[in-house]
């Protein structure tokens, strides 16, 4: 399939205008003998129907499980069909970055509304237009805290998503730029006594996740207070923002910066990307936050409009003095989240959150009633929980896979001390039948495995 | 009006099945003081109101599907619709990243094949598909450079960038803790070799550049530059933003580049989305491959199995949770197999043809700082009309009235009142001619009624927006009047 419109006649006319005899003449600048590619080993062109066929073939080699209990930073939530209707409008998805505001009021207002939704959810005064994802948002927040406090110690909860911690570590790199102190958990939640002993005047930030990787609800207000006591910033990471349907806004609990992931709002699991990072902060950090910011303004006639603003923080103006190098972010995903949140609205956010916590508690009750399976942590949880299994948890997940069930994540993958534990996620998409079927299968397997 | 201002208590735009498990009170499951009793004040609107609101917003935008976007450095080529369709297949969208490897073989095969295509097109040995954007890719490569020199126990703290470099280059370098030093461009618009020689000390880790450069000019001395850099033990990095000009014809690996990034949302037609999502695959050659972030996708020929490979002791680690912007990469894959060998070879030829055609057509009416054959983009300067009070920005805004998105303005920094034009290969001769006509008309206006240009745009949903007031008194989110 070709997307170039040039006919032989077009090319001839244009070459004639340029007084060149062939297309190759245009590349005369290039020392071709030395560097031009002799042979490209690429397949021949395909027609559109063949492209469709090939992609369907590849998609067909993947398994869409009949039921899934996987969460761990990627969530299966209901997405109203109207979200796709809007994000597939090509006036949105084939638009460019809104640098020319007059030609981009649609995109800009949508960004402003996204920023507003994030502020409403987190109780913060400022939110940016998006970051790549939750993990890189953590790294950006840590950088902000270190530059704001001029300190180098970061206290990072071990119940923060392991891959988010890996990314933070990669960004901090080697060379003594920062010191990361792991904060242990007790009964699945941050150990406050450990935290008190770890913070000191060199602490730039305390970084925790809520609900954390285990689904457990952390004592946020206490954590924020302990950080504040030594002049450190409290950074809250939210991987499952539907939890804000029933949890208090972190901005009202003394938290300085909230970052995380909005994939739960209108974005399918997508094999891990593209997702949607966000950053929100108390007003005093406004000029330090990375990423694009959309602000309200007026035009020459006094009419309301929107424009990218405070661009002096960004790479295209400040270059090596910029607060971050971020350029392209996740604008279309932010649009999806904005439309999603508009549809779900005040009542929907609450109702989804309540269904999640209730179904998760039902599932916990049923699973922990199966012989050999028990609840690992007694701490309160939202829509994910950890189950201690009788034997080899990874064998168990393989057996469940055969039954068309994607089991909870095997925690041994990240936590050696939890090698026989599974992290189950239950959302409003999980039916009672699925939970009951899971329980029945587990009973059967438990009998077989325990030999 | 904002969506929040259309809210009316009690309206809903969603539906859910009835709760099918016991309706336990929240306070029985969690501490009472953690419960948000009041709830978040999200708007309450119906589905129709949401659809109408966002549909009308979309109609205020310019987009590639409605307008020509000759934005230099952005490669705003047509976004094929088959790509959108295949990226929406449930067999891709519904995959959880932690599913068992046996259940994601199709996804892994796609990523592996895409990596092979990228290697073939660029001359790199391996690619990581994990970074989420070009700038993220730059950051990745610079972290790899740092790790590479640490491993060799060499202390190198400087990154060289041409004075024409894109802002993300120095910003990325600064994020890794390098010091950025600029290399001058000569009067031909290429890297000044004498200046480069002077700056290439043993403290230099890497020279970041692109070829063609941001002026749209091929760096004719690239092989010389490559030997100069490598003689000093430094690395050469290719910013893939301008890959469209030489795709498949000249491979960065053959020009001597050690690492590079690709912008699929430029060269490989994935849509810009109003500011993302894009992706930033990073390629590396030789010694540098072992520093790539993990996981990589490997293929076992004998077992015909694809797998995620994590065990790389020298890897810099991870740049992002999971594997990358997968659905964006699906679109790049579809584009490559659709164009195939013949189509991919056309990209460079026709994008360079279109750019030269436009440049010559405009050269009679506008100042060309570099009078030589360009590649896929070229730069004009609008400095001649300062006495009329007209700047590049004004021309950009007046073009909107003529139904064209403005080209890139004020970049690169080394050209005064720069206007960078990149038509791409998917535009027809007729569109290019119309664009030339519009600019000629604007030039007439500058000479005879400059206020029309100075006060542009006149026909857009809003008139010229006030940047100053936006920055001085920032209003960055909606606030309810009830509070």
To the nearest whole Å, the CA of B414 is away from the closest chain A CA by 14
> Cα–Cα–Cα angle for A423, A424, A427, nearest 5°?
140
Give φ, ψ of B109 to 5 degrees: -65, -40
CB-neighbour burial class of residue B25 (10 A; exposed 0-12, middle 13-18, buried 19+): exposed
Nearest CB among A88, A301, A338 relative to B84 is that of A88
Q: Domain ranges for chain A, please list them.
A: 67-76+346-449, 81-340
Cis omega (within 30 of 0) for bond into A211: yes
Contacts of B234 (CB under 8 A, 6+ apart): B156, B200, B204, B205, B206, B207
Contacts of B483 (CB under 8 A, 6+ apart): none
Which range (A338-347, B53-62, B212-221) has the least confidence? B212-221
Q: What is the pLDDT of residues B276-286, one digit of tens each?
A: 999 999 999 99
pLDDT at position A396 over 50: yes
Nearest CB among A115, A297, A359 relative to B21 is that of A359
Classify each residue of B132-154 as buried b or exposed e, where b means 16 or more C-beta atoms within 10 Å of its C-beta: bbbbbbbbbbbbbbbbbbbeeee
Tell me the C-alpha to C-alpha distance, in Å, between residue B422 and each of B67, B209, B242, B260.
14, 19, 10, 21
Q: What is the pLDDT of residues B203-213, one digit of tens each?
A: 999 999 999 99
pLDDT score for A393: 87
Structure tokens at A333: 């995903």
Residue of A nearest to B340 (CA): A45
Region A423-436: what's the mean pLDDT? Answer: 98
Element (H, E) at A424: strand A421-425
Nearest CB among A101, A307, A322 relative to B171 is that of A322
CATH architecture of A81-340: 3-Layer(aba) Sandwich (3.40)
| B352/A contact by beta carbon, under 8 A | yes
Q: Where are the alpha helices (DSSP H) in B75-220?
A: 81-87, 90-93, 105-122, 134-151, 168-176, 193-199
| B24/A contact by beta carbon, under 8 A | yes
Closest CA to B465 of A102, A317, A103, A97: A102
| B112/A contact by beta carbon, under 8 A | no
| B134/A contact by beta carbon, under 8 A | yes
pLDDT score for B442: 96
Cis omega (within 30 of 0) for bond into B428: no
pLDDT at position B411 over 90: no
Classify each residue of A426-437 as buried b or exposed e, where b means 16 or more C-beta atoms within 10 Å of its C-beta: bbbbbeeebbeb
Closest CA to B138 of B74, B223, B209: B209
| B326/A contact by beta carbon, under 8 A | yes
Structure tokens at B334: 């579809």
Are A271 and B339 in contact (CB < 8 Å)? no
| B208/A contact by beta carbon, under 8 A | no
Give, rounded to a whole angstrom, the gap between the first and last alpha carbons of chain B.
Answer: 19
353-382 of B, contacting A, C-beta below 8 A: 353-354, 356-357, 360-361, 372-373, 375
Q: Tell me the chain B residues in contact with residue A52 when contact means C-beta distances shorter than 8 Å.
A: 82, 85-86
pLDDT score for A175: 57
Nearest CB among A163, A295, A345 relative to B474 is that of A295
Q: Does the structural domain A67-76+346-449 have CATH classification 3.40.50.170?
A: no
Structure tokens at B475: 């209003």
Binned at pLDDT 50, 70 and 90, residue A36 comes out as: confident
Strand partners, A216: A381
Element (H, E) at A117: helix A105-122
pLDDT at position A320 over 80: no
Are B60 and A106 in contact (CB < 8 Å)? yes
To the nearest whole Å, the CA of A349 is away from the closest chain B CA by 8
CB-neighbour burial class of residue A337 (10 A; exposed 0-12, middle 13-18, buried 19+): buried
Nearest CB among A29, A78, A104 relative to B218 is that of A29
Residue of A nearest to B95 (CA): A271
Binned at pLDDT 50, 70 and 90, residue A451 comes out as: very low
pLDDT score for A324: 81
Binned at pLDDT 50, 70 and 90, residue B274 comes out as: very high
pLDDT at position A450 over 70: no
To the nearest whole Å, the CA of B258 is away from the closest chain A CA by 15
Residue of B nearest to A129 (CA): B275
Between CA B212 and CA B239 the distance in angstroms is: 10
Are A295 and B470 in contact (CB < 8 Å)? yes
Region B345-357: what's the mean pLDDT? Answer: 96
Structure tokens at B48: 């129709």
Q: Tell me the chain A residues in contact with residue B77 when contact means C-beta distances shorter than 8 Å.
A: 3
Chains A, B: CB contacts within 8 A come to 666
Residue of A nearest to B360 (CA): A18
Closest CA to A203 of A184, A185, A226, A187: A226
Region B444-451: what's the mean pLDDT? Answer: 95
pLDDT score for B301: 94
pLDDT at position B242 over 70: yes
pLDDT at position A449 over 80: no
To the nearest whole Å, the CA of A188 is away from the closest chain B CA by 14
pLDDT at position A34 over 80: no
Strand partners, A163: none
What's chain B's average pLDDT? 95
Domains of chain B (ranges, CATH numbers): 3-58 (no CATH), 76-483 (3.40.640.10)
Region B41-58: what's the mean pLDDT? Answer: 98
pLDDT at position B290 over 70: yes
Interface predicted TM-score (ipTM) over 0.85 = yes
Residue of A nearest to B33 (CA): A248
Are B248 and A42 in contact (CB < 8 Å)? yes
Region B66-88: what's the mean pLDDT? Answer: 97
| B167/A contact by beta carbon, under 8 A | yes
> Which residue of A59, A71, A213, A301 to mutate against B (max B Cβ within 10 Å)?
A59
């Amino acid at each position: 399939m070709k997307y170039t419109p040039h006919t032989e006649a077009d090319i001839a006319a244009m070459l004639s205008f340029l007084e060149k005899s062939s297309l190759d003449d245009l590349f005369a600048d290039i020392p071709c003998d030395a560097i031009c590619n002799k042979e490209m080993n690429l397949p021949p062109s395909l027609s559109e129907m063949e492209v469709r066929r090939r992609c369907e073939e590849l998609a067909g080699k993947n398994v869409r499980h009949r039921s899934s209990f996987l969460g761990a930073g990627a969530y299966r939530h209901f997405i109203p069909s109207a979200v796709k209707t809007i994000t597939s409008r090509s006036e949105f998805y084939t638009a460019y970055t809104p640098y020319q505001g007059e030609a981009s009021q649609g995109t800009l207002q949508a960004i402003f509304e996204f920023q507003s939704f994030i502020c409403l959810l987190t109780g913060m005064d400022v939110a940016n237009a998006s970051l790549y994802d939750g993990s890189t948002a953590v790294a950006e927040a840590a950088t902000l805290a270190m530059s704001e406090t001029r300190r180098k110690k970061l206290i990072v909860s071990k119940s923060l998503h392991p891959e988010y911690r890996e990314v933070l570590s990669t960004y901090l790199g080697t060379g003594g730029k920062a010191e990361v102190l792991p904060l242990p958990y007790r009964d699945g939640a941050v150990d406050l006594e450990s935290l008190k002993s770890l913070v000191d005047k060199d602490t730039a930030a305390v970084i925790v996740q809520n609900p954390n990787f285990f689904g457990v609800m952390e004592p946020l207000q206490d954590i924020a207070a302990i950080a504040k006591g030594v002049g450190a910033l409290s950074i809250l990471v939210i991987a499952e923002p539907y939890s804000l349907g029933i949890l208090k806004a972190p901005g009202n609990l003394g938290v300085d910066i909230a970052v995380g992931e909005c994939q739960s709002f209108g974005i399918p699991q997508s094999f891990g990307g593209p997702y949607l990072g966000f950053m929100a902060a108390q007003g005093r950090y406004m000029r330090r936050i990375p990423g694009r910011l959309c602000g309200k303004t007026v035009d020459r006639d006094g009419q309301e409009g929107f424009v990218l603003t405070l661009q002096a923080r960004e790479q295209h103006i400040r270059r090596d003095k910029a607060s971050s190098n971020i350029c392209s972010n996740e604008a279309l995903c932010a649009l999806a989240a904005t439309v999603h949140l508009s549809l779900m609205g005040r009542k929907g956010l609450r109702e989804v959150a309540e269904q999640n916590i209730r179904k998760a508690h039902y599932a916990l009750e049923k699973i922990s009633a199966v012989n050999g399976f028990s609840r690992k942590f007694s701490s309160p949880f939202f829509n994910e929980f950890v189950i201690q299994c009788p034997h080899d948890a990874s064998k168990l997940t393989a057996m469940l896979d055969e039954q068309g069930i994607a089991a909870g994540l095997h925690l041994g993958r990240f936590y050696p001390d939890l090698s026989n534990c599974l992290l189950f996620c239950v959302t409003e998409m999980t039916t009672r039948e699925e939970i009951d079927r899971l329980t029945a299968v587990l009973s059967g397997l438990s009998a077989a495995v325990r030999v | 009006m904002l969506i929040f201002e259309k809210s009316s208590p009690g309206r809903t735009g969603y539906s859910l099945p009835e709760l099918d498990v016991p309706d336990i009170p929240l306070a029985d499951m969690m501490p009472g003081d953690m419960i948000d009793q009041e709830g978040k004040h999200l708007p309450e609107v119906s589905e129709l109101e949401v659809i109408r609101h966002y549909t009308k917003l979309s109609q205020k935008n310019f987009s590639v599907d409605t307008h020509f976007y000759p934005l230099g450095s952005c490669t705003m080529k047509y976004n094929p619709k088959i790509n959108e369709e295949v990226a929406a297949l449930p067999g891709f969208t519904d995959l959880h990243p932690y599913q068992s490897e046996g259940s994601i073989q199709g996804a892994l095969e796609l990523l592996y094949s895409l990596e092979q295509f990228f290697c073939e097109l660029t001359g790199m040995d391996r690619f990581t598909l994990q970074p989420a954007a070009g700038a993220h890719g730059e950051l990745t490569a610079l972290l790899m450079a740092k790790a590479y020199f640490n491993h060799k126990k060499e202390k190198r703290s400087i990154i060289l960038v041409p004075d024409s470099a894109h802002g993300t280059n120095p910003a990325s370098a600064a994020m890794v803790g390098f010091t950025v030093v600029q290399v001058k461009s000569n009067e031909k618009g290429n890297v000044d070799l004498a200046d480069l020689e002077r700056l290439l000390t043993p403290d230099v880790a890497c020279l970041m550049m692109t070829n063609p450069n941001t002026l749209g000019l091929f760096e004719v001395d690239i092989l010389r530059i490559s030997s100069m850099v490598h003689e000093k033990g430094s690395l050469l990095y290719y910013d893939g933003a301008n890959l469209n000009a030489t795709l498949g014809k000249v491979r960065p690996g053959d020009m001597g580049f050690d690492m590079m990034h690709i912008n699929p949302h430029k060269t490989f037609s994935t849509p810009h989305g109003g500011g993302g999502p894009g992706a930033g695959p990073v390629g590396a050659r030789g010694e540098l491959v072992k520093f790539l972030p993990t996981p990589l996708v490997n293929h076992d020929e004998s077992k015909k199995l694809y797998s995620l490979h994590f065990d790389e002791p020298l890897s810099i680690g991870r740049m992002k949770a999971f594997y990358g912007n997968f659905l964006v990469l699906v679109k790049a894959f579809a584009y490559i197999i659709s164009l195939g060998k013949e189509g991919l070879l056309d990209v460079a030829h026709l994008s360079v043809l279109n750019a030269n055609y436009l440049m010559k057509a405009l050269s009679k009416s506008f100042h060309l700082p570099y009078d030589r054959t360009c590649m896929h983009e070229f730069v004009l300067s609008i400095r001649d009309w300062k006495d009329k009070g007209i700047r590049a920005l004004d021309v950009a805004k007046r073009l909107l009235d003529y139904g064209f998105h403005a080209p890139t303005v004020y970049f690169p920094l080394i050209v005064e009142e720069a206007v960078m034009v990149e038509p791409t290969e998917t535009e027809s001769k007729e569109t290019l001619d119309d664009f030339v006509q519009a600019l000629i008309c604007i030039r007439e206006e500058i000479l005879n009624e400059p206020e029309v240009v100075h006060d542009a745009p006149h026909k857009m949903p809003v008139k010229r927006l006030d940047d100053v007031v936006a920055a001085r008194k920032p209003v960055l989110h909606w606030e309810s009047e009830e509070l």
